[in-house]
Amino acid sequence: MRQRRKPPGPVTITVRSSVARQVHDRGLFVLWRDAPRSSQRQGLAFVASACPEPDCTCLDMHLDGFVIDDSVRRVSWVSDGIKITGPSGAARGRDQEIELTALVELESGEVQQRTPCGDEEGEGASKARGSDPAGELLDWVRGCMDGELLEHLHRAWMRSKGRAMGSPREEIDLRDRVPGDLVGFEEIFDDERGDQYIHGGGRYWADTYFCLDPDCSCREVRVVFSAASDEPGLAVGAMVVALNPPGGDAAYVARQEVEGGAPEALVGELWQLFCARHQVADYLQRRLARIGALDLRRLWRSQGRRRPVVRPRAPGRNEPCPCGSGKKYKRCCLDRPAV
């Protein structure tokens, strides 16, 4: 039974209904839209909370919220629930009028109805919850579930688990890399949200790779798609994206690559889903900037001087396995003993 999470302290958002969304980094959110059949703006205020069990590793966020209008001045999350402050300055509770009870899968962004149960109900709450019979509020959340909102939810999940974000791995070993090699963003930052897409009844990962060559000026990023299942993932293809120099806001596809006999159309369709979720140029530029801030190129060059490469390098964890299976190396031969 899931105990409802309490805020780490009073959390308040001052309403600005002219924007699309408002986010507090401790898990309080307000989404805004033009109200149907009205000239007013309508908001969906909700709290996002993860499973409070410290050992639970599920990447789900629970959303509990309700609809407000633009007459509200403040939305607060306090120890006894969510409260709103109206024009008069008087605060009133809305914890017993929750209309949205949803579950968000952080990796895929899938949004589903959640049925409260057990201790999560609280006294009298069961009569008021789940009042979205037509699924209108779920559709509202689904329409807003882009990469930016998923990243905010992921940060809230990390904080609720007491985990730090934004730090690279403690040890980064690039000594076996050679000029022209790419490094996966997820290989350097292992606290990042996995980027998954549901398409045609299957699930696919999208991983981003950046060049390590200190003399390279191509500014190309490789976005690799691979199948996700209980079996080791199969790479299906990639889009190689060229970024404008810093300060530019554009990116374009330099070429498309198909792997493992996958249909060419599949790679294009996954790319369209990727573009629908992310502001591609900004998303990749920010990741490139984080890689650059670590000066991995300098680290790679210095490690190379200390230990020259004398044998073929091991592939990156997310690169195709050299055995020819078409699977990712980490899901195939990574743990097998060397021959």
Q: What is the pLDDT of residues 149-179, one digit of tens each?
A: 999 999 999 888 888 777 787 777 777 777 6
Q: Is the pLDDT of residue 29 over 60?
A: yes
- Position 98 scores a pLDDT of 61
Q: Residue 219: which pLDDT band, with cuts at 50, 70 and 90?
A: confident
Q: Tell me the percentage of the chain whose pLDDT exceeds 90.
A: 40
Q: Residue 141: which pLDDT band, with cuts at 50, 70 and 90?
A: very high
- Position 128 scores a pLDDT of 42
Q: Residue 233: which pLDDT band, with cuts at 50, 70 and 90?
A: low
Joined tokens for residue 156: 């809230």
Per-residue pLDDT tens digits for 321-333 = 777 666 677 677 7
Q: Tell me the percentage of the chain whose pLDDT exceeds 70.
A: 76
Q: Residue 33: which pLDDT band, with cuts at 50, 70 and 90?
A: very high
